[in-house]
Structure 1
Amino acid sequence: MTTRVRPSNKRCLVIGGSGFLGGHLVEKLLDRGYGVSVFDIRQNYELPNVTFHQGDLCNKQALLSALKDVSLVFHCASPAPGSDNRELFERVNIQGTRTVIQACKEAGVQKMVLTSSASVVYEGKDIKNGKESLPYAKKPIDYYTQTKIKQEKLVLEACDRENGFLTVAIRPHGIFGPRDPQLVPILVDTARRGKMKFIIGNGTNLVDFTYVDNVVHGHILAAEHLKADSPVCGKPYHITNDEPICFWDFMSEILVGLGYPAPRYHLPYLFVYGLALLLWMLALLLSPLISFKPTFTPMRVALAGTYHYYSCERAKEDMSYTPIVTLKEGIKRTVESYPHLRQEE
């Protein structure tokens, strides 16, 4: 029987702790008795007993200052998916992660938990109950995924049992919950502009959406099981709600919960994907002259019209992972947290 880490004796740094996931992680770590510091490019909030360090991921000296007396690092920093800023993804996800690893080793950090993404194995084609043994995507769907693959490889390859630097990667999928700046606000904005009337494909494609508390739970479990004799070392783990749901059913539950009509009309998947591809190529060709961003990119169409859900069996076996908030309850809490986005009567 392995002994558990005593959180009260540990100090951790959450890199990207001002973000959506990072903020929730900081709160839960405090609840569990950890000493917590945050390193981020900006400070979005204040919490008692949390030390904030503002700095750039690529600045090793700034990182070393924040890593003093830290034994555990959670690396959650990443630009949001959907951007076409390749340089930013390269700088943060690859160059920044290299610097983080170097700084951690110099500072004597013992453990590092990376927030990766299940999309590292996704190429826009159906994945049903995907396992971690799936190969990395040879044709990533966007710059975000392309750089997350490189980032995950860097972190897992840095795992060094002999010298006491242990790493693990958590691959969440479809994170949602209160304070999410992406999914719900974008969904509501699209509905308000009258662009959420259509279902892409037949609407039966199952997808994983993961409530933020479950993603946080997976990160902390990984950290507490990360020991030199553990199978967790140097491995990636899918963390989801373990309740695949039809993509459009999930979207409809959020929309209806906030007072908006659910999508009703079906459009053929291949037609919409082809149109999105055409518009994307047109935007690329015209970019020197004019700037416009199509609402539906090929990536978004693929995510909306294909199966992509993942197995959590490895996480269950190696670190006793079980979701702590059901999908139904997670949707309820999320909807209730956005009263300002509710459709006016």
Structure 2
Amino acid sequence: TIAEKAVRQAAANKEINAVILRPHLIWGPGDPHIVPRVIQRSKKLVRVGNRNNLVDTIYIDNAADAHILAAKKLEENPSLSGKVYFISQDDPIPMWDMINGILHAADLPPITRSLPVRAVWTIGAILEFVYTVFRISGEPRMTRFVANELGTAHWFDISAAKKDLGYRPNVSTKEGFRRLKEWLTKHPITVE
């Protein structure tokens, strides 16, 4: 991102001490992006691709812990400045187990219908075209990018964060789902 490039450049020029953390798909209580979108669109969701595409997300408390830990370690060891660290649960799981875990926390049924990635990608391309040609505001319900993300395995090596920062996720994915369920009972999200 532009902000990350600016921070990396400033750190390289010794203008600031900073490390860059790259959390992957933050979710949990209070999440304004992933959790609400999955729940709101649950009746319209279709599993993209097969069940084998793994994803490694990060529970919100683990992301917060990683940022605090990084600040402490940077203060102890300024030579870490300018380094980039991926952070996650360190527990890749099938994408649709993740999505169904969120739905379970909201007491909603799992997604069982599926379509091939190529078909969903094509739908995304058509919707993008229609939105562009007719100048429809907002974002299409499906895009080529989203189709690829839902149908492709993606996780990152966090060994550098473990080694340099001592990062370990304190909240497991299973415990995160339990906490999310508890939060959703007090803060329900409406299904579209």
TM-score (norm. length: structure 2):
0.90
- The Cα offsets for residues 52-102 of structure 1, whole Å up to 9 and x where unpaired, read as xxxxxxxxxxxxxxxxxxxxxxxxxxxxxxxxxxxxxxxxxxxxxxxxxxx
Q: Is the 8 A contact 2:54 2:94 kept in 1?
A: yes
Which residue does the alignment assign to 1:155? 7
Q: Is the 8 A contact 1:237 1:315 kept in 2?
A: yes
Within a 5 Å distance, the mapping from 1:137-216 to structure 2 comes to 148=1, 150-159=2-11, 165-191=16-42, 194-196=43-45, 198-216=46-64
Q: Is the 8 A contact 2:123 2:143 kept in 1?
A: no
Q: Secondary structure at the match of 2:18?
A: strand
- The Cα offsets for residues 86-137 of structure 1, whole Å up to 9 and x where unpaired, read as xxxxxxxxxxxxxxxxxxxxxxxxxxxxxxxxxxxxxxxxxxxxxxxxxxxx
| Most deviating of 199-208 and 182-191 | 182-191
Paired AA for residue 314 in structure 1: A
Gap regions ≥5 residues in structure 1 = 1-147
> How many Å separate the matches in 1 of 2:7 and 2:22?
13
> How many Å separate the matches in 1 of 2:23 and 2:54?
16
> How many Å separate the matches in 2 of 1:247 and 1:315?
23
> How many Å separate the matches in 2 of 1:334 and 1:152?
30
Q: Is the 8 A contact 2:70 2:165 kept in 1?
A: yes
Paired AA for residue 195 in structure 1: K
Paired AA for residue 338 in structure 1: L
Q: Is the 8 A contact 2:105 2:180 kept in 1?
A: no
State whether structure 2 residue 121 is matched by structure 1 residue 270. no
Task: Identify if the C-alpha distance between structure 1 residues 228 and 283 changes in structure 2 by more than 3 Å, giving closer, same or farther.
Answer: same
> How many Å separate the matches in 2 of 1:328 and 1:154?
36
Q: Is the 8 A contact 1:273 1:301 kept in 2?
A: yes
Question: Rg bigger for which structure?
Answer: 1
Report deviation, 1:313: 0.3
Report deviation, 1:257: 2.8
**Higher fraction of strand:** 1
Superposed structure 1 runs of 4+ greater than 3 Å apart: 160-163, 227-231, 290-293
Paired AA for residue 25 in structure 2: G
Report deviation, 1:256: 2.2
Gap regions ≥5 residues in structure 2 = none
Report deviation, 1:160: 5.6
State whether structure 2 residue 85 is matched by structure 1 residue 237. yes
Q: Is the 8 A contact 2:36 2:189 kept in 1?
A: no
Paired AA for residue 27 in structure 2: F
Which residue does the alignment assign to 1:341? 188
> Aligned pair count?
190
Q: Secondary structure at the match of 1:338?
A: helix
**Higher fraction of helix:** 2
Which residue does the alignment assign to 1:305? 151
Instruction: Quote the sequence identity (%).
Output: 35
Q: Is the 8 A contact 2:59 2:171 kept in 1?
A: yes
Q: Secondary structure at the match of 2:47?
A: strand
Q: Secondary structure at the match of 2:20?
A: strand
> How many Å separate the matches in 2 of 1:220 and 1:226?
10
TM-score (norm. length: structure 1):
0.52
Structure of greater relative contact order (alpha carbons < 8 Å, 6+ residues apart): 2
Paired AA for residue 157 in structure 1: Q
Q: Secondary structure at the match of 1:316?
A: helix
> How many Å separate the matches in 2 of 1:231 and 1:327?
32
State the Cα RMSD in Å: 2.1
Which residue does the alignment assign to 2:167? 321
